[in-house]
Amino acid sequence: MPYYFQTLEDMERSPVPVACHATDYAAGSTTGQHRHAFHHQLIHALHGVMVVVADAGQWIVPPTRGIWMPAGTVHQVRHIGDVQMRSLFVRPHAAPGLATQAQVVGISPLLRELIRAAMEVDLPYQEDSRDGRLMRFLLDELHALPVLPMHLPRPADPRLQRICNHIQQRPDDNATLSDWAEHLGVDPKTLQRLFARDTGMGFARWRQQARLLKALELLAHGEKVIDVALALGYDSPGAFATMFKRQFGQTPTGFYR
């Protein structure tokens, strides 16, 4: 019977360089805040959509995507729909040079099948065995993960946090940066400079990214494209679909298919 980590304690004690863990979650559940002190984690769902939150921001992770979570990063995962999560836990010394920041990545068909195969590996495995070679191949593939634009950075400035919280709650609000500057009693250039400093992007781009991630979440719930477009403040489904395809290279319906 293949063995994989049953508990977090099992994982932390294991000396193997890389191993898998399978967990199924019910719709609406959450992992709560936690971290893996001694392992990087590649979080991937065979089915279902995950919303991952950390101090650096928020990510949404649909199937065929994954999120790379470096060791020690405090995070929590919320599950939209029933989620079949498959995680890789990697000792940092086993794969030097991997990303040191959390990021959404593409999961290729090859990597997906390697993860499936790794789930059948008995632990511990011998380095010079077929299982050991499979795991080394898997580690090699981690260096080729394409990074995807599905991150919503979280600003540190309280004024920006007020703006961003409002946009996430009311993504259809089309208030401009000048409108917000007048409301907050600051110069628009000051807000623009703070956005660039805290998030690495301007106000308009941040709002578009917030709308995109909200769109992914609504679509995952089964909402119609026309309803999503209107909820996000777009004049028509066509305008929304054009923006979506420009960002992700697929139409909203094609993305989840």
pLDDT at res. 162: 95
What SS3 state is found at 212? Answer: helix
Give the CATH number of the domain where residue 98 resides: 2.60.120.280
Q: What is the pTM of this model?
A: 0.78
Is-contact 131 172, C-beta < 8 A? Answer: no
In a domain, residue 3? The reply is: no
* pLDDT < 70 stretches in the chain: 1-14, 256-257
Show the domain range for 112. Answer: 8-142
Query: Same structural domain for residues 132 and 162?
Result: no
Residue with tokens 């470096």: 70
| pLDDT per position as a tens digit, 100-138 | 999 999 998 999 999 989 888 887 888 889 999 999 999
Query: Same structural domain for residues 13 and 136?
Result: yes
pLDDT at res. 2: 40
Give the CATH number of the domain where residue 239 resides: 1.10.10.60
Structure tokens belonging to residue 204: 């308009």
Query: Same structural domain for residues 124 and 21?
Result: yes
Report the number of distinct structural domains present in the chain. 2
Structure tokens belonging to residue 130: 């077929």
- Sequence-ordered strand ranges (E) for 62-199: 65-69, 75-90, 103-106, 151-153
